[in-house]
Structure 1
Amino acid sequence: MNRPIPVGARRPGPRRSKPEGGAGPLVALGAFALIPALGLFALFSWAEGAVDESEPAPPPPSTLVAPPPPPLALSTSMLSLRRLPTVLSRELNISDFERAVVPFLATLNDRSCAVVSVDGILIGSRNPDLAVIPASNQKLIVAAAALDVLGAETRLTTLVSTELAPVDGVVNGDLFLVGGGDPLLSSDWYPTSNLDRYAVLSPTSLDTLADAVSDAGVTQISGGVVGDGSRYDDEFFAPGWGLGVAGLEAGPYDALMANDSRVLNDDQRAGDPNEGAAREFTRMLQERGITVTGGASSGVATPEANVLASIESASVIEIVGEMLMNSDNNTAELLMKEIGLIGEGTGSREAGARVMMAKLGEWGIETSNIVLSDGSGLSLDNRLTCAAVLAVLQRHDPSSALGQALPIAGQTGTLRDIFSDHAVAGRLRGKTGTLNNPPFNVDPPAVKALSGYLPVDGGTAVEYTLMLNGPTISDQSEYRPIWNGLVEALDTYPSGATPAQLGPR
Structure 2
Amino acid sequence: MNDPGVRIVTGKSRYPAAPFVVLIAILLIPVAALTALLVWSDGQADEHRAALAASPDDAATSRPAPSSAAPELATGLLNYRRMPNQLATAGDDNRLSDAMSELATFIDERSCLSVSVDGRPVTAHNADVAVIPASVHKLFVAAVALEVLGPDHVFTTSVSAPPAVDGVVDGDLVLIGGGDPLLVTDGYPTQDDRYPEFNTTSLDRLADAVAAAGVTTVQGSVLGDGSRYDDEFVIPSWGPDIAYIEAGPYDALVANDGRVVGRSGRQRDPNDAAAREFARLLGERGIRISGGFGVGAADPAQPVLASLESQPLSAVLAEMLTTSDNDTAEMLLKELGVADAGAGTVAGGLAVVDRTLRSWAVPMDGVRLVDASGLSSDNRATCAALLAVLQRVEGGPMAAGLPVAGRTGTLADQFVGTAMEGRLTAKTGTLGNPPVDLDPPAVKALAGYLVTSAGSTIEYVMILNGPDIANPDKYPPYWLALGERLAAYPSGPDPSSVGPR
Give the TM-score taking structure 1 as reference length. Answer: 0.80
The aligned runs of 1:14-413 (5 Å cut-off) are 89-162=88-161, 164-190=162-188, 193-397=190-394, 399-413=395-409
Shift, 1:87, TM fit? 5.1
Alpha-carbon contact 2:453-2:490 (below 8 Å) kept: no
Deviates more, 1:456-465 or 1:412-421: 456-465
Q: Secondary structure at the match of 1:182?
A: coil
Change (3 A) 1:502 1:170: farther
Q: 1:166 to 1:359 in 2, by over 3 A?
A: same
Compared with structure 1, are the counterparts of its residues 290 and 88 closer, same or farther at alpha carbon in structure 2 (3 Å cutoff)? farther
Distance (Å, rounded) in 2 between the aligned partners of 1:317 and 1:86? 36
- SS across alignment from 2:335: helix
1:299 Cα deviation (Å)? 1.1
Contact 1:135 1:448 in 2 (8 A): yes
**SS state of the match for residue 318, structure 2?**
helix
Deviation at 1:84, TM superposition (A): 9.9
- Which residue does 2:416 correspond to in 1? 420
Scaled by the length of structure 2, what TM-score is found?
Answer: 0.81
- Name 1:491's counterpart in structure 2: 487
| Pair 87,309 (structure 1): closer, same or farther in 2 beyond 3 Å | farther
The question of whether the paired residues in 2 share the 8 Å contact of 1:339 and 1:352 is answered with yes
CA distance in 2, matches of 1:424, 1:250: 31
Displacement of 1:91: 2.8
Partner Cα separation in structure 2 for residue 229 and residue 315 of structure 1: 20
CA contact 1:185–1:203 (8 Å) conserved in 2: yes
Residues 374 and 461 of structure 1: CA distance in aligned 2, closer, same or farther (over 3 Å)? same
1:32-78, Cα deviation, whole Å (9 max, x unpaired) = xxxxxxxxxxxxxxxxxxxxxxxxxxxxxxxxxxxxxxxxxxxxxxx
Contact 1:459 1:499 in 2 (8 A): no
For structure 2, the residue ranges without an aligned partner over 5 or more in a row are 1-79
Is residue 478 of structure 1 aligned with residue 477 of structure 2?
A: no
Q: Which amino acid aligns with 1:165?
A: P
Structure 2 distance, partners of 1:393, 1:483, is: 18
After alignment, is 483-492 or 470-479 more displaced? Answer: 483-492
Residue matched to 2:429: 433
Inter-CA distance 82–150: structure 2 relative to 1 (3 Å threshold)? farther
- Displacement after TM superposition at 1:83 (Å): 13
Q: Which runs of 4+ in 1 moved over 3 A?
A: 81-89, 497-503
Please say if residues 452 and 487 of structure 2, whose CA atoms lie closer than 8 Å, have aligned partners that are also in contact.
Answer: no
Q: Could you say which structure has the larger radius of gyration?
A: 2
Give the secondary structure class of the aligned counterpart of 1:395.
Answer: helix
Q: Distance in 2 between matches of 1:330 and 1:195?
A: 18
Cα deviation digits, residues 265-318 of structure 1 (max 9, x gap): 211322100000000000010110000000111111001121110000010011
RMSD (Å) for aligned C-alpha atoms:
2.1
CA contact (8 A) 1:458 1:500 kept: no
CA distance in 1, matches of 2:456, 2:334: 35
Distance, in Å, in 2 between the alignment partners of 1:502 and 1:300 is 71
- Relative to structure 1, is the Cα distance of residues 85 and 345 closer, same or farther in structure 2, using a 3 angstrom cutoff? farther
SS at match of 1:275: helix
What number of residue pairs does the alignment pair up?
Answer: 420
Q: Supply the distance in 1 between the matched residues of 2:95 and 2:454 (Cα, whole angstroms).
A: 19
Offset of residue 242 of structure 1 = 2.9
SS at match of 2:356: helix
* Identity across matched positions, percent: 51
Secondary structure at the residue paired with 2:122? strand
**Structure 1 residue 366: deviation in Å?**
2.1
